[in-house]
Structure 1
Amino acid sequence: MARFDRYDLPLSTTSDLAAERYRAGVDLLLSLWPGAGEALDEAIAADPDFALAHAARARLHAISAQPADARAKIAIALEVVGRYGTERERSHVQTLSYAIHGQSAKALASALEHTDKWPRDIVILSMPLGAFGLFAFSGMADHDQARVDLCERHARHFGNDDWWFLTYRGWAHGENGNVALGREMTQRALELRRHNVNAVHAVAHVLYETGANDDAQTVITGWLPEYPKSGVLHGHIAWHSALIALERGDTARALAVYDEHVAPSASQGTPVNIVSDTASFLWRMQAYGHAVPAGKWDEAANYASGYFKDAGFPFADFHMALLAAATGDHAAVAARVSALNQLIEQGGLPGGSMVPAICRAAVAFADEQYGLVAEILEPVAHEVVRIGGSGAQREIVQDTLLVALMRSGEARRARDLLDRRLRRRPSPRDARWREQLSVA
């Protein structure tokens, strides 16, 4: 008797239990809800020759920053699928293998080819999407549009009430500037599956992009207590709440959220989230003119010192540079910039020369060389999208440029930038700054 996944794609397993546990595990995996590992382990136990269960477990290990476990599981999947798998399953496993072994360009090309043949294979369709997906970290300047195009190309294959597709389609549109459609889709996705971390994350981002801080805070405050603190995005969802408080100038509230959920001693997220969330929050706080309490920069830098030692992952490179610059470790930034320039010479750095430039700007800002910061950042600010992540995460570069312009006496250029930002979305902080510049 044939067994199928939730999208009616056949599964090469002899066990009804394995198929059921796989379907449950994939839903938990793609909603980032705890329990995915246990469900997939149960699928493997029910049928050790079920290749896609091993592959999904490998994907979960990769998302959880467990590379050795991911490589071990995908090796099993490759061996088993060669003996028992269909054409789709072999392509599925091979695509995941490329990604798990760091072959991102091959993984992206394979994922796009695979989804043209099997668009409802959502484990593979999910790979190019999201803030940390293959498109985002490809170095492409138009990856926001590429996500929209991919979702729209395959939209006819999904129902209007498909919680998974609504989550990613809404995220794609919101990040690409269609915030009204993004909000409609992501909020509907969250209604359909409340225990969907990717949906609440997408809602938080699209509300950020519309300046709807009160709505965003209501969503986060009402939802976060349901999500176990062991969840990989618990600290990051709370980071959004800390940014809302910072936007309002409520530093006491912002720091309380940071200490309880975001700081390295509190968060159980993955290294890339902890490093980027801590670095960007503390940098924003300091750049906005608030004192960072003693010890917080050192705690964040000490945690980060165990990760991302090699240059070449632009999103992490920039945040590592922020931490080093803020703690006075100029030598670390210089070494990273040198390594990045070598990669550029070899043609091996997604993002290109913009990446070492924004790292150098971090040092100049920490040294209060604000004119130099503006000189470095203004020519490359439009390219920062190439480091990946979300618009909210990348906005720290523009924040740094804006503060540098204000502090270097470039009031007209600062006003022009603030006016562009305020036309895009309301911001209490930007409005305060604009008012200050008007009377200066």
Structure 2
Amino acid sequence: MAGDEHGLAVGATSDAALKHFDQAVDDLLNFRPEVAAESRSVLAEDPDWPMGNVLAAYLAVLATEPDDTRRERRRFAAFRTRVDERALPPRERAHVAAAQVLLNGDLLGAGRLLAQIVAEHPRDALALAAGHQIDFLTGDARMLRDRIGGALSAWHEDEDRHYGHILGMYAFGLEEAGHYDRSEETGLRAVELNPRDVWAIHAVAHTYEMQGRFGDGVRLLDERRDDWATGTFFNVHTWWHYALYALEAGATGRALEIYDAVLHGPDTSESALELVDASALLWRMYLDGHDQTARWRALADAWAAKTAEPFSAFNDAHAVMAYVGAGRIADAEALIRSRETYAEWERPAVTNHAMTVRVGLPVCRALVAYGRGDHERVVELLHPIRHRVHEFGGSHAQRDAVQKTLLESALRAGRLDLARLLISERTSVRPSSPFNWLKHADLARRLGDAGLAASSTARATELVREAALPFPRPR
């Protein structure tokens, strides 16, 4: 029986198919767009090899594009009619089951099945990578950490070229679970082993974001720009992190340069993942009172093609941001009504259904309320769910847009006790964040404490000055 690059036995297939599969996994771990072509090459060489088919299924769903998933369901169903699954090797049979559950919309179930595969086969790089992305899409910080941590001892730096990539995934899990020092150490070691490991670079960027270390974040990304800025399908998201650092430093113009050049301009792909980044950046500016109506209108037009059916509550919220920012409240409300109808369905095995009911709809309604200036309603909707927003997926950094919306509405609604609590939480965790000190100043002004407002504003200014950021133009 043949084996893949990581020593795992595979069922009968051609040498050519196996070679393309190993290359596809390498591309996936490096976030190279070539993974799609390599995946097609696996199927061209052996249309009925299970591992080639499950790879295609994982790629389709994890891109969060409804049309891709719909096509893949049909293709995967045809594959299953052609094979005797009882005769498959147990690991491949388990992958087929996990891929089918994922295609059915049960992300949590697929994550559990992949965890079982990894428990028995900790060197299954595809199971680790797919499971890691599912944990990200479901906002499961514990599994982002432990799925990789539990397999790590089976990988060896001196033997495995992908050891660093496993470390990079672990670094992201550590960050999402709040182990910032360990995450930084692990992520930087992963980057040392593989300088172009964009996921590891991104993990360290998250660690700096969550600590308010925007100066360190900019320096990291500037120093390693040749490693992350091109050649992957993840460079746009990393530019988004760079833009967040710029906003933290008050460099709105720099953030808009990045938006126009990379996030949503004439040459962008308009994939759902990239539209999320675009909405998330503009919404932070919207909260600060910046008028970006023209950019919002173009972005809302792009989202219109992505929201015809319920597929991702997380994406829905970012589409609503675009509609509200563009002044298209009617479109936002139409999307919400569509999801309210969807919420009435009985879909216990569809993860997005629970995400929509528990988090997606309250967030979308709150975003519309914010656009209408009904800040009491925003607080009413977001305050009860603020500790479970993770349930609709994404990272802490991404979901901070929701937390910032709650904070801004608490201030504007005069809910100053709540605003004080939220600001204290933020400043205690991220004392080097200028944003947090500026909100502290805003609160002080509303309380009539001019001296505290002045000192808090001065602290924000000092933090920006100490960072001494150059902000070169994006290439």
- TM-score of the pair, normalised by structure 1: 0.88
On the 8 A contact 1:136/1:387 being kept in 2, the answer is no
Residues 65-144 of structure 1: pairs in structure 2 closer than 5 A = 65=65, 66-67=68-69, 70-71=72-73, 74-75=76-77, 78=80, 79=82, 82=85, 85-130=88-133, 133=134, 135-138=135-138, 143-144=140-141
Distance 2:318 2:214 in 1: 25
Q: Does 1:257 align with 2:258?
A: yes
- 1:220 is aligned to 221
Distance 1:164 1:81 in 2: 34
Distance verdict in 2 for CA 1:344–1:75, change over 3 Å: closer
On the 8 A contact 2:188/2:204 being kept in 1, the answer is yes
Distance 2:99 2:92 in 1: 11
Distance verdict in 2 for CA 1:168–1:409, change over 3 Å: same
What letter matches 2:222 in structure 1?
T
On the 8 A contact 2:237/2:277 being kept in 1, the answer is yes
Distance 2:110 2:291 in 1: 44
Q: Does 1:435 align with 2:441?
A: yes
What letter matches 1:350 in structure 2?
A
Please report how far the alpha carbon of residue 300 of structure 1 lies from its aligned counterpart in structure 2 after TM superposition: 0.4
On the 8 A contact 1:234/1:267 being kept in 2, the answer is no
- 1:302 is aligned to 301
1:319-356 deviation per Cα after TM superposition (whole angstroms, max 9, x unaligned): 12212222233333333333434444445422334322
- 2:26 is aligned to 27
On the 8 A contact 1:147/1:172 being kept in 2, the answer is yes
- 1:189 is aligned to 190
The gaps in structure 2 that reach 5 residues or longer are 348-352, 445-449, 454-475
Q: Percent identity?
A: 27
Distance 2:281 2:241 in 1: 10
- 1:5 is aligned to 4
- 2:399 is aligned to 394
On the 8 A contact 2:11/2:88 being kept in 1, the answer is yes
- 1:350 is aligned to 354
What letter matches 1:415 in structure 2?
R
SS in 2 for 1:3: coil
Tell me the C-alpha RMSD between the 2 structures: 2.7
Q: Does 1:327 align with 2:299?
A: no
Please report how far the alpha carbon of residue 81 of structure 1 lies from its aligned counterpart in structure 2 after TM superposition: 7.2
Distance 2:365 2:16 in 1: 55
Q: Does 1:359 align with 2:364?
A: yes
1:61-107 deviation per Cα after TM superposition (whole angstroms, max 9, x unaligned): 44454335644664575445749742211222332233234343442
SS in 2 for 1:290: coil
- TM-score of the pair, normalised by structure 2: 0.82
What letter matches 2:412 in structure 1?
R
- 2:156 is aligned to 159
Distance verdict in 2 for CA 1:305–1:168, change over 3 Å: same
On the 8 A contact 2:294/2:326 being kept in 1, the answer is no
Please report how far the alpha carbon of residue 399 of structure 1 lies from its aligned counterpart in structure 2 after TM superposition: 0.5
- 2:144 is aligned to 147
What letter matches 1:97 in structure 2?
Q
Distance verdict in 2 for CA 1:55–1:317, change over 3 Å: same
Please report how far the alpha carbon of residue 260 of structure 1 lies from its aligned counterpart in structure 2 after TM superposition: 0.4
